[in-house]
Amino acid sequence: MTDQFQTVGQVAEAVGVTVRTLHHYDDIGLVTPSERSFSGYRLYTRADLERLQHVVVYRRLGFGLEEIATLLDGGGEVDLLTHLRRQRETVRTKVAGLEQLVAAIDRALEAEMNGYQISKDEQREIFGNSYDSNFEDYEAEAKERWGDTDAWKESSRRTKGYTKAQWQQVKDEGDALNQRYVELMQTGVPADSIEAREVAEEARQQICRWFYDCSLQMHAGIAQMYVDDPRFRQTYEDIAPGLATYVRDAVVAHASRG
């Protein structure tokens, strides 16, 4: 008999519920043992156990007992495979919701711990999809190279408190400066001209205003990266072919005359 049927105690231990819970399921007709021993004790068949396992899964997913009864007693034509597929889809939906909740909590924790006033999604909204593939790489690399410098510390201190509107202003100012470079370059104005050097100075002042005190020579070193680093070069080349070199030359020319 024990090879075919299981007692209430055995089922409770195997499934991870209490004997009292099993008695309650029996009383309300949710999972009723199909057999009885000679002494009148409840005995569960394999089919009973399969039904109980579905009940346990649905309960863990937050379904009420009446909902579960409806799901399990859908006309008597719902087989095990259908139940498993239904459970899988329900679990996937729950997991997707939980993942979204975890992501939201992570964003809140990140903002709270770091003091940032702008989320990663908002940064992507402002700076575009290249934020994921480029900006965070730049940030990590810059921190490794200059993390111990006063300039890096000052930039980190300032930018922590910037709002979305302030970051948008930084972006708009940068775009405007780049557009002026493009107009000068495309009209044949030399990179070492007064006009180009004036734009270079405004770009340096923007760095000083928003991030850290940037000397002429430091600015020249940054501009050299616009040419040497393929990622920076591509950013400028996407705006206009030849722009990376033009900006570098204008900044270097301005620094040499400073």
pLDDT per position as a tens digit, 187-246: 999 999 999 999 999 999 999 999 888 899 989 989 998 899 888 898 899 999 999 999
Per-residue burial over 9-45, b if 16 or more Cβ lie within 10 Å, else e, is eebbeebebeeebbeebbeeebbebeeeeeeeebbbe
Nearest-angstrom CA–CA distance, 18 and 88: 25
Nearest-angstrom CA–CA distance, 111 and 172: 24
Section 157-183 average pLDDT: 89
Question: What are the residues whose beta carbons fall under 8 Å from the beta carbon of 151, sequence distance 6 or more?
Answer: 211, 212, 213, 214, 218
Q: The tokens 């709002």 sit on which residue?
A: 163
* Nearest alpha-carbon partner for 70 in 78, 60, 61: 78
What does the CA dihedral 180, 250, 254, 177 come to, rounded to 10 degrees?
A: 20
The amino acid at residue 121 is: D
| R_g of the chain, CA atoms, integer Å | 33
Question: Where does the pLDDT of residue 183 fall: very low under 50, low under 70, confident under 90, or very high at 90 and above?
Answer: very high
pLDDT digits (tens, 9 = 90+) for 76-122: 455 656 767 777 887 788 778 777 777 766 665 655 555 555 555 66
Nearest-angstrom CA–CA distance, 192 and 201: 12
CA 214 to the chain's CA centroid: 33
- Which element (helix H / strand E) includes 59? helix 46-60
pLDDT digits (tens, 9 = 90+) for 20-41: 999 999 999 999 999 988 888 8
Cα-based distances in Å from 216 to 25, 148, 152, 256: 79, 20, 17, 8
